Structure 1
Amino acid sequence: MYIENTGLENLKIDLNTLDEILPQYGLIRAGQWDYERVTYDRKIVIKEHVYYLRVQGVALEGDVGAHDAYIQLKKPILGKYYYPHGIEYGEDENFPNSLVSKCEETLVKVQKELEALR
């Protein structure tokens, strides 16, 4: 599920700033990157289900591996994890309203902080 109207999808920002700020909101860039793309994930466990809030970006210039890149963020997505197959993001998935609201609140805070640092 795409999370709309966060303002993040229009943001262009330095990779090192993202690496500093996003972990404060539980969005971690572990091994999810290559030289042109980055992915920050926040794992959310609610009762018997596991969800992932994902913020992705693509390098407009520079090299992610060298920690020297300028990133264009994409529209955030929310997915549900299914063992052992992985994460599903489809519109057919059911997401609790409270989870969606919490994710939207987090993304608004992230957007405001990143916007102030640009």
Structure 2
Amino acid sequence: MKFTETGLEENQLKFSIVHYAAESLGFVHADQWDYERAMFDYKMVHHEGTFYLRVPVYSVKGDIPTPSTIVQIMSPIVGKHYYPHGVEYEGETFPQAIIDKCESKLSLLAKAVQNEL
């Protein structure tokens, strides 16, 4: 499930700002990057399974993970983890509690990013 109109997609900012804001809210960067793209994950365990809220970014200028690299935040997505295959994003029905948690975290992240600008 993709989250649009979060207020995050409009931002191009330093990687260090996104990194600090995301990790201060419990997102994990975990060395998931390839110089052009990175992902910040927030893990949620629910009685219906394990879900991941993912906030992807891509480099506009510079290489990730250099702190001064300018990144564009892309639309966040949530997926359900299936062992051992990985995370599925399409064709899933997500519990309302998970959707509410995602919306809350994304709102907090948008505010944290704005406060750092």
**Deviating 4+ runs (over 4 angstroms):** none
Query: 1:37 and 2:37 equivalent?
Result: yes
Q: Matches of 1:16 and 1:112 in 2, distance apart?
A: 16
2:11 pairs with 1:11: yes
Deviation at 1:48, TM superposition (A): 4.6
Partner-residue secondary structure (3-state), 1:72: strand
Give the Å deviation of 1:18: 1.5
If the length of structure 2 is used for normalisation, what is the TM-score? 0.93
- Paired residue for 1:54? 54
Q: Are the structure 2 counterparts of residues 35 and 100 from structure 1 closer, same or farther at C-alpha, using a change threshold of 3 Å? A: same
Q: CA deviation at 1:11?
A: 1.2
**Number of residue-to-residue matches in the alignment:** 117
Kept in 2, the 8 Å contact 1:54–1:76? The answer is yes
- Asked whether the equivalents of residues 6 and 107 of structure 1 are also in contact (C-alpha less than 8 Å), the reply is yes
The CA RMSD measured in Å over matched residues stands at: 1.2
Identical-residue share of aligned pairs (%): 37
Partner of 1:84: 84
Maintained 8 Å contact 2:15/2:66: no
Q: Secondary structure of 1:94's partner?
A: coil
| Residues in 1 aligned to 2:60 and 2:19: alpha-carbon distance in whole angstroms | 16
Aligned-pair CA distance for 1:65:
3.7
Give 1:4 shift: 2.0
Deviations 1:78-110 (A, max 9, x none): 0000011100010x1010111101110110111
* Consecutive unaligned residues in structure 1, runs of 5 or more: none
